[in-house]
Structure 1
């Protein structure tokens, strides 16, 4: 009679420990959910940012291409060529450039001779006229002189206004005679970005930010400039007297070649970038990570509330149980008192003893049932996770193939899903047989067919972990007596264990060999992982033994495989490879009537 109260006291003493463990588990779950919510929001922001980058890149190129034809038109103009032939400024040509510039909406149009002196300009009436100025030091002049079209962004040395310069060589009688240039004002584009409330940057080949919706980041650098870079910039007088200081953007985490997390002025941003071929520029889009933090905090708050509710319910149930226990103890005390009063201690003690034995027997039966149910549930979860993952992959592929109207491949995908569901039904049947130790009906099983089905089920794992498969099987069919579902279950377990063992290996190769002997067939699964510790070799096939992290495995796969192979009259053993990795060898009795070349 004293054992049960002592047991309850022991449980009561351990209750705080269980509360702490449960709190840690739930806190970890809330943290994981918060991270997942943040990752989902971040991926959504990335997708939106990529769309915005595409739009801004198209808008920028459209703004430049709108004026790209003008230098070519000027280079072909007869009046321009005659002026260059005479070698002196022409007011008529300047008037023509003035009118053309007004109609086109460009910043300025001008023509230089072969020495870089400006002979005509659309701003010839202004005090900042280009006429008489020499711009031979500009890279766009050098490019045109070499027969190429010049592209160059710079601050104007005469006007002090920034712009994008496009040039085209002027040739007369096949010889270089001068350069025609158009200057484009990109400030309206920056104004549009700023009014849109988004942060957009453009940097040149040297990493200098020359276009920005944030004016305080303009003419700063993404990385420190070398002495040679500064020398080239000064030689072309590209940015005037701007100091070109380092921008406030600091990288926090690199998430890919064109995606990273940066920090500026205490705020974190998602930074997406895209190169602009032909210009040597890079376009950047920044989005604040505040929505990511808000989503994570919201999930954390919801999770915390749920955890508190759960703890409140647990405490209520415990208090209720203690009250019930107190009432039960009071009733027992009254009963004992009544027994003492009736002087029937001996008879009542005998009755209580019999009742205690019956309770203990019922509790033992119930515990056995719960243990069996737990083992069966663990086995089902362990063996059905992989087919479910494969079905999800095939379902996703089926949707894509259906959108592409590839009906034949859709049928193949549905056929594969059907085979997987057959396998799942077979697994549950095998687990039922394992639990009840019922006799197993045998049939002729072809090893090659069973192996192909197992590889189909585990194909997503090979792709996910980058594992190379090397298969050595005979051309002739090799058959054994047993159940195809049970043998396929063994192969899936061994393949999955091999792939799991190579998670941290640089070289990931899974080698499967099938060989027929005189009276047996040998199946070998060899991986290139870290191998098996010597002290674990004798424990591998025991139920619930696992070397994986908590929550990563139940330790039933090899135990179930061992029992299946034993039921089929075979053996299974594990050893380490001489060089690296582990291998599992399964030997089964060879079916006497196997037919060479039989269709698998």
Structure 2
């Protein structure tokens, strides 16, 4: 009886720890599985957020390049439509050869594909390619929507495959008026294949579709003239009538599967993309409308890396689960390994704290670095301003020393006149000394203000005063130069949004650069420097033109780069224009080099027009 009782107790004693062990083991497995699933989902979410940010940035970049390609040639149809010879050709069929040559010269100068002229019936009467085998002259394109829009009195734009050349392009059109009557249409064709080449070279997957969902620009030639979805018969009939894509057979792109990402983007699967892979690929599809062209830009992010990241996250979760199981076994067994476990936990906690501390240090370091960068930029502006003052110091000293010497002479003369009791003449000398003191005080006060650090606050600034202050600082240099100075202030006060000291620094940099360029050009004086203002309710443009040698076209893309200079060694660091450009951008404005037909260089500083201060209204 006693032996049986002991056996039962022993059996129950063995079952109790075993049940606890199994319960803890199952709980650990459940927690580990949930952790693995959560980690995988989190990894997927993070990956999609990263791709979303990258895709949006790419869309903005490529949309701006597409719009820039179109805007570059917007003006050409207008120029053609306003030409007198063009009007004579359309109304009296005169000067066809002269118009052909003129269109050819405009086409070459602008870089357009073709520039041509159509009469009221849609027949091409003049073209820049009149000498080529596939000349447009004599062809009739009345069926093109861009002709139909323009002949109705509107501007037209239409992307299509050329009916004569078979080459795709964007067509921009504008009506030609004679009085109030439309007598023809001016058209420019733009070759946009360079965009495709750039996308392909960059290894990007980019495509542009029209409002019918048909792809006509793509980094992958195999995608062109395919549709993103099924096209109905009426649309196909219209495209055939317009001959929009020539003889190309419009078929849906081979999209095998479609889903939606956690952020709402489509996930598509394409069979054998342009890399000629032997398996299908998944892509995240980003899209952005190009409203002024009625197109849609698409960017495809490869999701191949997502699967490997999810596998890595799952593997980490599994490893963590195994670790939990091992820790559970150690805890349940209550073996001597507890001390080792505590040591390991302590080490891991210490490593986590160290990592956390290091992360906090890195965050603080980055904040400090950003603040130092901002301070460095302000110091660079200040240093460039002081360097400019240093280069002008000899002239400024001369400008101050002359009145001082004159004051000394007038003071001595006044002393003699007082000794002779000629008080009236002595008073006149003292008045002259007072005027010179005011002149020197004005120069010194303005130099002090200019040399001081800006408060970096944009307010309403009267631009004519800033021009006068800049000329006051540069007066010694201007007086020394053999120069025709043409300053055209506005008839009434003109206010802009800027910081007065920094705006003055921009003007001094631009005027000094103009003076340096004219002096180093080797041209016979007198040189010419012209400053004028063009203003409206939204923008105010300050223009500075010289008749120096101008800027080499090869140097134009780098003219605002830091440390770029064409001056001889020792005469400049190449920071003036770069600093001026940065200041203009900080104002919300812009600084550009304007292309013009006259000799020399023309800079344009564009700023937001500001209302006059309330004190002036009072």
Match of residue 155, structure 1, among 161, 182, 191: 161
Q: Name the residue aligned to 2:297.
A: 283
Correspondence list, 1:445-456, <5 A: none
Shift of 1:87: 3.5
Shift of 1:10: 3.3
Shift of 1:139: 0.3
Correspondence list, 1:57-76, <5 A: 57-76=63-82
Is the CA contact 1:217–1:247 (under 8 Å) kept in the aligned structure 2? yes
Whether 1:293 and 2:295 are equivalent positions in the alignment is no
Whether 1:268 and 2:282 are equivalent positions in the alignment is yes
Q: Name the residue aligned to 1:36.
A: 42
| d(CA) in 2 for partners of 1:186, 1:275 | 18
Whether 1:122 and 2:128 are equivalent positions in the alignment is yes
Is the CA contact 2:24–2:328 (under 8 Å) kept in the aligned structure 1? no
Is the CA contact 2:177–2:183 (under 8 Å) kept in the aligned structure 1? yes
| d(CA) in 2 for partners of 1:110, 1:251 | 45
Q: SS of the residue aligned with 1:239?
A: coil
Residue deviations 1:474-496 (CA, integer Å, cap 9, x gap)? xxxxxxxxxxxxxxxxxxxxxxx
Shift of 1:21: 3.9
- In structure 2, list runs of 5 or more residues that go unmatched: 1-5, 272-279, 339-618
Is the CA contact 1:94–1:120 (under 8 Å) kept in the aligned structure 2? yes
Q: SS of the residue aligned with 2:140?
A: coil
Shift of 1:3: 4.8
- In structure 1, list runs of 5 or more residues that go unmatched: 325-600
- How has the CA–CA distance of structure 1 residues 31 and 65 changed in structure 2, closer, same or farther, with 3 Å as cutoff? same
Which has the larger Rg? 1
Is the CA contact 2:155–2:173 (under 8 Å) kept in the aligned structure 1? yes
Query: Which segment is superposed worse, 181-190 or 88-97?
Result: 88-97
Q: Name the residue aligned to 1:202.
A: 208
Is the CA contact 1:89–1:120 (under 8 Å) kept in the aligned structure 2? no
Q: SS of the residue aligned with 1:158?
A: coil
Q: SS of the residue aligned with 2:80?
A: helix
- How has the CA–CA distance of structure 1 residues 202 and 119 changed in structure 2, closer, same or farther, with 3 Å as cutoff? same
Shift of 1:200: 0.7
Residue deviations 1:36-93 (CA, integer Å, cap 9, x gap)? 0110111011011101101111110001000011001000000100000114671111
- How has the CA–CA distance of structure 1 residues 307 and 203 changed in structure 2, closer, same or farther, with 3 Å as cutoff? same
Q: Name the residue aligned to 1:302.
A: 316
Q: Name the residue aligned to 1:103.
A: 109
Is the CA contact 1:251–1:260 (under 8 Å) kept in the aligned structure 2? no
Match of residue 219, structure 1, among 218, 225, 241: 225
Shift of 1:101: 0.3
Correspondence list, 1:310-459, <5 A: 310-319=324-333
Q: Name the residue aligned to 1:141.
A: 147
- How has the CA–CA distance of structure 1 residues 261 and 16 changed in structure 2, closer, same or farther, with 3 Å as cutoff? same
Query: Which segment is superposed worse, 226-235 or 8-17?
Result: 8-17
Is the CA contact 2:28–2:324 (under 8 Å) kept in the aligned structure 1? no
Shift of 1:316: 4.3
| d(CA) in 1 for partners of 2:94, 2:242 | 25
Is the CA contact 1:268–1:288 (under 8 Å) kept in the aligned structure 2? yes
Shift of 1:263: 1.0
Whether 1:55 and 2:61 are equivalent positions in the alignment is yes
Shift of 1:19: 2.3
| d(CA) in 1 for partners of 2:95, 2:36 | 77
Is the CA contact 2:214–2:225 (under 8 Å) kept in the aligned structure 1? yes
Whether 1:19 and 2:25 are equivalent positions in the alignment is yes
Shift of 1:160: 0.5
Shift of 1:257: 9.8
| d(CA) in 1 for partners of 2:76, 2:263 | 37
Is the CA contact 2:49–2:263 (under 8 Å) kept in the aligned structure 1? no
| d(CA) in 2 for partners of 1:43, 1:323 | 43
| d(CA) in 2 for partners of 1:201, 1:49 | 13
Correspondence list, 1:471-490, <5 A: none
Is the CA contact 2:116–2:124 (under 8 Å) kept in the aligned structure 1? yes
Shift of 1:4: 7.4
Whether 1:169 and 2:183 are equivalent positions in the alignment is no
- How has the CA–CA distance of structure 1 residues 157 and 37 changed in structure 2, closer, same or farther, with 3 Å as cutoff? same
| d(CA) in 2 for partners of 1:290, 1:24 | 30
Whether 1:253 and 2:259 are equivalent positions in the alignment is yes
Is the CA contact 2:32–2:324 (under 8 Å) kept in the aligned structure 1? no
| d(CA) in 1 for partners of 2:83, 2:178 | 11
- How has the CA–CA distance of structure 1 residues 19 and 257 changed in structure 2, closer, same or farther, with 3 Å as cutoff? closer
User: RMSD over aligned Cα, in angstroms?
Assistant: 2.5
Q: SS of the residue aligned with 1:278?
A: helix
| d(CA) in 2 for partners of 1:89, 1:268 | 59
| d(CA) in 2 for partners of 1:97, 1:118 | 13
| d(CA) in 1 for partners of 2:20, 2:284 | 47
| d(CA) in 2 for partners of 1:32, 1:7 | 38
Is the CA contact 2:28–2:325 (under 8 Å) kept in the aligned structure 1? no
| d(CA) in 1 for partners of 2:163, 2:19 | 84
| d(CA) in 2 for partners of 1:117, 1:89 | 17
Residue deviations 1:436-487 (CA, integer Å, cap 9, x gap)? xxxxxxxxxxxxxxxxxxxxxxxxxxxxxxxxxxxxxxxxxxxxxxxxxxxx
Shift of 1:279: 1.5
Whether 1:242 and 2:248 are equivalent positions in the alignment is yes
Q: SS of the residue aligned with 2:79?
A: helix
- How has the CA–CA distance of structure 1 residues 19 and 256 changed in structure 2, closer, same or farther, with 3 Å as cutoff? closer
